[in-house]
A and B are shown apart, each in its own frame.
Chain A
Amino acid sequence: MSMQTTSQNDKKLYGIIAEFNAPEEIIDAANRAREAGYKKMDAYTPFPVHHLDDALGFQQTRLGWVVLFAGIVGALGGFFLQWYANVVFYPLNIGGKPLNSWPNFVVITFECAVLFSAFSAGLFMIIRNGLPRLHHPIFGAHNFAAATRDKFFLCIEARDAKFDTEQTRQFLEQLNPNHVSDVKDE
């Protein structure tokens, strides 16, 4: 494996990244990095790798609760809209049906619930992921384009308390990746 010397420059370091070939390798690497005490790290893979999040020590997302809440808001809002329009705002005798003919309001209530919860799920994911973010330091990493194709990357970030340029690089190299490289921060 080719040992690379970091080209001297004054740019701040974002982190150090290692490239692997297979999901098993990246999970193994992540586990060992976690055991080594690294916290601020992330992996970049072309498809979701099972248990990788556990290996990296991520805690569960709260997405579910948000969606549930949004769904309830949608349902209540949907029903209120119909109830208010028919009973309070502009009561009309429609075919002799009562003003609050709630059975007629069920469908729209349901649709509103689905609409709200679905979009909360999608938007929550995008926003919490900090997207859209068209540029990111990691894109500068060597051969990073392969992260959306067939390569698996582990990046230990400079902001990690245990981070030390030399030690971290050595640590990653002993995981026998394809190569290790610095990720510059701009």
Chain B
Amino acid sequence: MADSRNRIAETDRVIGPGQTYTTIDDTVNKPILTSILGTPIWWFIAFAFGFLLLMLYLYSVVYLIAVGTGVWGNNVPAAWGFPIINFVWWIGIGHAGTLISAALLLFRQEWRTSINRFAEAMTLFAVVCAGLYPILHLGRPWVFYWLVPYPNTYGLFPQFRSPLDWDLFAISTYASVSLLFWFIGLIPDLATLRDRTENKFGKIAYGIASLGWRGSAKHWQRYQRAYLLLAALSFPLVLSVHSTISLDFATSQVPGWNNTIMPPYFVAGAVFAGFAMVLILAIPLRKAFGLENLITMRHLDNSAKVMLATGLIVVYGYVIEVFIAWYSGTVYEQYMIFNRMFGEDYWWAFWALIFCNAVAIQPLWSKRVRNSPLALFIISMIVSVGMWLERFVIVTVTLTREYLPSSWGVFTATRWDWALYIGSFGLFLTLWFMFIRFLPSIATSEMKELAHIHENDDAKEVTT
């Protein structure tokens, strides 16, 4: 990159000094190639923790299906509660990965390279967590497949006008395309593992998974074209997914939902939350596996910048919501906003989310904060909470105060609401720790390419 040619400060490096093909290989694959006994103890502890939460998740799912939706706090008017909030929250998180890989690839942003792999993995796992909620949320989850168009004896199709059916298509498409994108990216690295590992079983597993990749130039040619096209397709897809989810609200006529700003506002929020989660995962990961030279401060710095930018877009969204409510001149919109801000039941949620999503990100203007992993980690945590609160306010608080005053209500979450939410972290963490243990969390082949491009940087650093 032009600028990085001139100044090679630590935070400008997309790759640390002295990185060769072999060092990259070894750093990234070391945790994977070590034997079971060689696996660090913290991994077992962390995995066990995640697995425990996963069991909680399964328990609450079984209880839910045995007893019914009534185990949650949902009611009329607040017919949508935690499951939808968590769904939107997880799917939002599941945006950064594909966005990083696809969009940044298209814009030739080199710094994407070392974070795209685990960001994509994060995306997939988040989508898994998200995707289960709309199904569990149904009154009769066992017939969720009625949303899928398939030939049946009733001669019935889904009702394609419903945003919920759009969701089904959007999420399933997003999940499968992201998986494909991720897998294709993995093929060369799996081949590397196949050739590195001594473990017989590993050899077979990675061998099959890598489809017998042999790095032929002819293959690379098609591979790169396919990868580029996938990126080109994934980019609008990413934008479309959260836009579609925002339509669940935007196409309704609930005051506070039917806003045209919803799609861009939701997408920005998704990227915002996604990058927060990327940082939450990247900062411990690079420490634990000593990847500081591959996931450099430059990556953290840029992610923080993206977070700040998208965060500001979200804040703009809040402002516009208030403005439009006033400008609309309809009592329902105006009361909705008033209730969000000052309603006796939920005012705290609104102001808490303003603090988390608007105030807490302001320090990111300072480079010092952006270069402190700890600070970034904390801010990202706050942002994740804030984005959950935002969905709580949008989904549930809005529903409790609608058109007919006689039908106003309150929503109180039950312990099963919380169990299913906390449990979903178990699902995510279990998948995550499996991933970082058995798959390369950094795209080695791409890093090698990058190392090739930057092999003269060290020399330059000396000269300047």
Contacts and interface: CB of A to CB of B under 8 A. Distances in A.
Interface of A: 23, 30, 42-49, 52-53, 56, 58, 61, 63-64, 67, 81-82, 85-86, 89-90, 94-95, 97, 101, 104-105, 107-108, 110-112, 114-115, 117-119, 121-122, 124-126, 128-129, 131-136, 138-139, 144-150
Interface stretch (B52-60, B236-244, B266-274, B280-288): B236-244
Interface string B201-242: 000000110011111111111111110011001101100100
Contacts of B435: none
16 contacts: A42-B217, A45-B217, A53-B218, A63-B225, A63-B226, A86-B160, A95-B161, A104-B161, A114-B177, A114-B233, A114-B237, A125-B184, A125-B222, A129-B218, A148-B191, A149-B21
B234 A111 contact: no
Interface residues of B, number: 62
A135 B212 contact: yes
Contact of A111 (B173, B212, B216, B229): B173
Given A107-B166, A107-B247, A43 B217 contact: yes
A121 B228 CA distance: 10
Contacts of A48: 220-221, 223-224, 445, 449
Contacts of A129: 216, 218-219, 222-223
A49 B195 CA distance: 20
Interface string B324-347: 000000000000000000000000
Main secondary structure of the interface of A (DSSP, over half): helix
A30 B240 CA distance: 44
A23 B452 contact: yes
Contacts of A95: 161
Contacts of B237: 111, 114, 118
Main secondary structure of the interface of B (DSSP, over half): helix
B217 A46 contact: no
A149 B166 contact: no
A30 B303 CA distance: 40
B20 interface: yes
Interface stretch (B126-134, B149-157, B397-405): B149-157
B230 A121 contact: yes
Given A107-B244, A118-B230, 17 more contacts: A46-B192, A56-B217, A58-B217, A81-B160, A85-B157, A86-B161, A111-B166, A111-B237, A111-B244, A119-B180, A121-B229, A121-B230, A121-B233, A125-B223, A131-B219, A144-B214, A147-B214
Contacts of B223: 48, 125, 129
B305 interface: no
Given A46-B192, A118-B233, A150-B25, A132 B212 contact: yes
B230 A122 contact: yes
